[in-house]
Copies of this chain bind each other. A is one copy, B any other.
Amino acid sequence: MAAVSPHPFDPLRPEEISRASRIVRPHFGGQDPNFRVITLLEPSKKEMIPFLEKEHHKQPAGHVPTRYARVEVVIKGSDGKNQLFELIVDLDNDRVTRKQHIKGKHSYIDADYMKAVEAACLGNEEVQAEIRTLNLPAGATVVVEPWAYATDGVNDMTDRVTMCWFYLRLLENPDANYYAYPLDVCAEVSEKLEVTKVYRLPTKPSERINNEKKPFDRRKIHSTAASEYHPDLRPNPRTTTKPYQVVQPEGPSFRIQGNQLKWEKWSFRVGFNYREGLTLHDIRYDGRSCFYRLSLAEMFVPYGDPRAPYPRKAAFDLGNDGAGINANNLQLGCDCLGTIKYFDAYHNTPSGEPLKMPNVVCCHEQDDGILWKHTNFRTQNPVVTRSRILVLQTIITVSNYEYIFAWHFRQDASIFYEVRATGILSTVPTDVDVKEKIPYGTVVAPGVLAPYHQHLFSLRIDPAIDGPFNSLVIDESKPLPVGDPSVHNPFGVGYVTESQMIEEEGGFDLDFTKNRDFKFVNEKKINPITGTPVGFKLLPAYSQMLLSHPDSYHAKRSEFADHAVWITRYEDYDFFPAGKYTMQSTGGDGLASAIARRRNNGTTQSIRDQDIVIWHTFGSTHNPRIEDWPVMPNEKLMVGLKPVNFFSGNPSLDVAVSTQDKNKSVLYNGDEEKAACCPSRL
């Protein structure tokens, strides 16, 4: 047992995971449960608010919330089909407090099962026969990439269906990029690991069914220099990039106790779970509450190719795959630069034992250029401070793609959330001979189409601006009218802001043409100087919303992707803007449905000056460039949270001025005088 009790926000400890599975196992008799999830059930906010109040006032804890685990178990039913159960386990009293059979839903993707699907697919004679028709190059290896089936209405969704996409690894090296050789074979595998369908993929722009069964076109074979990213398979790398090191002679500026982090007036707790990955809790600046919880809540990646079966490519990378379970083991000096604190996480094995996931989060500081500067032009005296940021980074690999997620804390009390998309494009085969432009993607190599797709993220923001009861205000900047005798605007240059307090749950759109601002305010706390409620505002990432038709399964399944900003009333465990179970979901589980349900059953209440949650949908319509191939230079997206009339002035005003004594920069006087820069005219 650990010497110190966990904080209520701390993820489950290894011994708690073991304990939970020990408590759960007897509830399934002699059956062998497949433990998919053993994770912290976060305490209710009602319990946590007084707990945190006491904690921050250094008072005795009093009531400590019970420690609960949420457990997902899959059992083989008497009909041979999988049954999903959710259990709530009271770890303080060693008992199961709830056991629920979740009918008609699936747990997230099971990596072991996916391996079995691969093996079943490759072992199938019909598949092998189809492969033989391809007449593949000798020595090449067929690679099967199983994907969760995105609901398209064709199959009954009671059972799991797996789509198997085929690629060719031309080289022996197992790190060779097989996405460079997509094959036009496709197979569907059932829950029971039966291959239920084998067919060829369309390879022409307007093709609906590919009946040609052409062999693999040798003209698709191209240089490894163009398609490989692994250094073992590439020519020598460039040598011009000189080393760049970060030195912190007095150590980092952060302090860490358990999962609590303190840095430059910020304090918060680091959480982690299999699904959302990194979560942040109880975020305060200079002791004042700003946010109760921040997390990436969901992510939807639908592909835009209308030809069957491509509409089945649409991934919920959190709900289906899990940002936690797919988090990388980050390596010192590779993924992070400087003085690095790593956080480990614990998941569980199928048998319910703790599974250590080392280094899933790295924490470090970065220099971010100038924080603020002013030169008094009368005295010519400059005052300049440098901006330091604290970064908490986690990276996930979801098959071909990677996402780099990073929270940035700044000294000026702003928080930014950065997403970088990198990794390898998911490719499909196309005919080398097709001359017309394929309207659904970009040809990135001979016979390789990188299809258009979207990445739509949902960032869940649970504000606690000086307390749990907040309101959402939408501000716009509007010109004053001209020619209206009741309005003083003689020169036509006046403008004002108009504010709308949001009274009901709903979804809203961005409009930069109106300078539309979304602010979370505490109407009860008025800034004594500005005379306005204290608040934070969202700096959104302007993004196209979902392109799929509202009646499509894509749209029904990803309701959050319809508007950029949603506001809902806080409810415990309401973390899922596309529903709790997204695997083969059929829709109606998302934000819009929940709001409509509450409206229809009369439980809607005003959300003004209430405990509210803001969900920001953002992302990219990713129509690939060839520059994204064979591995994509990161594409950044940035969302921000900034105080607005929350403090009584610039919170970073007390940052010490920047000095060479501390920064030890080096003057470069290199080769500039050496040679002529252009042919002499003399």
Contact across chains for A308 and B491 when beta carbons are under 8 A apart: yes
Asked if A643 is an interface residue, CB under 8 A from chain B, the answer is yes
Additional A-B contact list (14), CB under 8 Å, known A439-B497, A482-B552, A626-B649: A60-B679, A175-B379, A234-B653, A237-B654, A240-B253, A241-B253, A244-B247, A247-B247, A328-B375, A334-B660, A370-B422, A443-B531, A452-B495, A491-B554
Contact across chains for A305 and B633 when beta carbons are under 8 A apart: no
Given contacts A244-B367, A529-B626, A677-B259, A650 and B632 within 8 Å (CB-CB): yes
Contact across chains for A382 and B331 when beta carbons are under 8 A apart: yes
CA distance in complex: A628, B682 (Å): 55
Q: How far is the CB of A655 from chain B (nearest CB, A)?
A: 6
A489 to chain B: which residues have CB within 8 Å?
Answer: 306, 549
Asked if A7 is an interface residue, CB under 8 A from chain B, the answer is yes
Q: How far is the CB of A482 from chain B (nearest CB, A)?
A: 5
Main secondary structure of the interface of A (DSSP, over half): loop
Contact across chains for B645 and A627 when beta carbons are under 8 A apart: yes
Given contacts A175-B381, A240-B264, A544-B513, A369 and B420 within 8 Å (CB-CB): yes
Q: Mark A612-653, 1 if CB is under 8 A from B, else 0.
A: 000000000101011111111110000000111111111111
CA distance in complex: A552, B482 (Å): 10
CA distance in complex: A302, B336 (Å): 43
Asked if A55 is an interface residue, CB under 8 A from chain B, the answer is yes
Given contacts A404-B369, A657-B231, A152 and B241 within 8 Å (CB-CB): no
Contact across chains for A492 and B627 when beta carbons are under 8 A apart: no
Stretch touching chain B among A36-44, A569-577, A663-671: A663-671
Asked if A365 is an interface residue, CB under 8 A from chain B, the answer is yes
Given contacts A388-B241, A488-B307, A670-B255, A626 and B375 within 8 Å (CB-CB): no
Asked if A260 is an interface residue, CB under 8 A from chain B, the answer is yes
Q: How far is the CB of A383 from chain B (nearest CB, A)?
A: 6
Contact across chains for A492 and B549 when beta carbons are under 8 A apart: yes
Q: Mark A431-457, 1 if CB is under 8 A from B, else 0.
A: 000000101101111100000100000
A652 to chain B: which residues have CB within 8 Å?
Answer: 633
Stretch touching chain B among A132-140, A338-346, A590-598: A338-346
CA distance in complex: A402, B443 (Å): 46
* Closest residue of B by beta carbon distance from A488: B306
Contact across chains for B334 and A243 when beta carbons are under 8 A apart: no
Contact across chains for A621 and B371 when beta carbons are under 8 A apart: no
A547 to chain B: which residues have CB within 8 Å?
Answer: 477-479, 493, 495
Q: Mark A406-449, 1 if CB is under 8 A from B, else 0.
A: 10001111100000101110000000000001011011111000
CA distance in complex: A337, B414 (Å): 22
Q: How far is the CB of A228 from chain B (nearest CB, A)?
A: 9
Q: How far is the CB of A87 from chain B (nearest CB, A)?
A: 23
A658 to chain B: which residues have CB within 8 Å?
Answer: 333-335
Given contacts A245-B249, A375-B402, A648-B226, A666 and B493 within 8 Å (CB-CB): no
* Closest residue of B by beta carbon distance from A445: B529
A305 to chain B: which residues have CB within 8 Å?
Answer: 494
Asked if A248 is an interface residue, CB under 8 A from chain B, the answer is yes
Q: How far is the CB of A392 from chain B (nearest CB, A)?
A: 13
* Closest residue of B by beta carbon distance from A257: B677
CA distance in complex: A658, B243 (Å): 10
Asked if A543 is an interface residue, CB under 8 A from chain B, the answer is yes
Contact across chains for A494 and B304 when beta carbons are under 8 A apart: yes
A678 to chain B: which residues have CB within 8 Å?
Answer: 4-5, 7-8, 55, 61, 258
* Closest residue of B by beta carbon distance from A450: B530
Given contacts A245-B664, A653-B234, A208 and B488 within 8 Å (CB-CB): yes
CA distance in complex: A31, B64 (Å): 87
Q: List 8 A-B contacts (CB under 8 A).
A: A5-B676, A231-B383, A238-B265, A240-B253, A259-B677, A479-B549, A493-B552, A626-B645
CA distance in complex: A334, B251 (Å): 20
Contact across chains for B370 and A532 when beta carbons are under 8 A apart: no
Asked if A480 is an interface residue, CB under 8 A from chain B, the answer is yes
Contact across chains for B512 and A542 when beta carbons are under 8 A apart: yes
Asked if A129 is an interface residue, CB under 8 A from chain B, the answer is no
Contact across chains for A230 and B381 when beta carbons are under 8 A apart: yes
Asked if A174 is an interface residue, CB under 8 A from chain B, the answer is yes
CA distance in complex: A386, B489 (Å): 53
CA distance in complex: A674, B258 (Å): 9
* Closest residue of B by beta carbon distance from A365: B244
A226 to chain B: which residues have CB within 8 Å?
Answer: 648-649
Q: How far is the CB of A338 from chain B (nearest CB, A)?
A: 6
A651 to chain B: which residues have CB within 8 Å?
Answer: 627, 633
Q: How far is the CB of A231 from chain B (nearest CB, A)?
A: 5
Contact across chains for A681 and B5 when beta carbons are under 8 A apart: yes
* Closest residue of B by beta carbon distance from A338: B665
CA distance in complex: A397, B314 (Å): 50
Contact across chains for A663 and B245 when beta carbons are under 8 A apart: yes
Q: How far is the CB of A284 from chain B (nearest CB, A)?
A: 15
For window 306-348 of chain A, which residues contact chain B by CB distance below 8 Å?
Answer: 306-308, 311, 314, 328, 331-342
Contact across chains for B679 and A246 when beta carbons are under 8 A apart: no
Q: Mark A119-146, 1 if CB is under 8 A from B, else 0.
A: 0000000000000000000000001000
Contact across chains for B665 and A650 when beta carbons are under 8 A apart: no
A446 to chain B: which residues have CB within 8 Å?
Answer: 529
Most buried by B among A143, A328, A335, A445: A335
Most buried by B among A5, A333, A645, A668: A668
